[in-house]
Amino acid sequence: MTQENSDADRLLKRYLRGAVADLGSGPSSTGAVDAAGRRALGDLWHGVFDARGPPGGAVPGRCVYVINTALAPHPGHWIAVAHEPGHSPLVYDSLAGAVGRPAALGGAATELYGETREQNRGDTHCGALCVAWARLWREKGRAVARAV
């Protein structure tokens, strides 16, 4: 692990403490993740969506949102997506792709990273991890967010 990865992981854990204080350490509903994202990211927050993603796939300039691997109302796994003009969407998956790619991402050019898992398959705090990662992306930038 590089120093950059170590620093990014340390920051993610710090932001995760705040997200867990807000959401709890268990499963998070769509509404709870959306409210926590709005509190943590303000105008950069684009919302929470099922596996279909934002309606029509439209996203405003620089933003971050969370999508689920399942279609509503079924439970699934939360994944964060950060958009920046001039870059491919940056996708954060705390299970490192173990549950598959959400339909909304289709074959789009994205940067899916996270070769290491920040949670185990049975853990249920992926919503809090997404909000924490989104805050890391906003406050420390794309390079640090990619280093998690």
pLDDT digits (tens, 9 = 90+) for 53-82: 887 777 878 999 999 888 888 888 899 999
Please report the domains of the chain, with CATH numbers, ordered by start residue: 3-146 (3.40.395.10)
Q: In which order are the strands placed within the sheet that holds 111-113? A: 45-49, 63-68, 78-83, 90-92, 111-113
Render pLDDT for 20-44 as a digit per residue (tens, 0 to 9): 888 877 778 889 999 999 999 999 9
Give whole-number Cα distances, 127 to 78, 109, 146, in Å: 6, 24, 18
Mean pLDDT of 3-30: 84
pLDDT for 113 equals 53
| pLDDT, mean of residues 126-131 | 92
pLDDT at position 74: 85
**pLDDT value of position 28:** 81
Find out whether 139 and 44 touch, Cβ atoms under 8 Å: no
Counting residues of the chain whose pLDDT is more than 70, the rounded percentage is 86
The confidence score (pLDDT) of residue 147 equals: 86
Cβ atoms of 129 and 119 closer than 8 Å: yes
Gyration radius (Cα) of the chain, Å? 14
Q: For residue 49, what pLDDT band results from cuts at 50, 70 and 90?
A: very high
User: Which tens digits make up the pLDDT trace of 92-104?
Assistant: 888 887 666 666 6
The pTM is what? 0.86
Average pLDDT over all residues of the chain: 84
Helix (H, G, I), strand (E, B) or coil at 66: strand
Q: What percent of the chain has pLDDT over 90?
A: 33
- For residue 45, what pLDDT is reported? 96
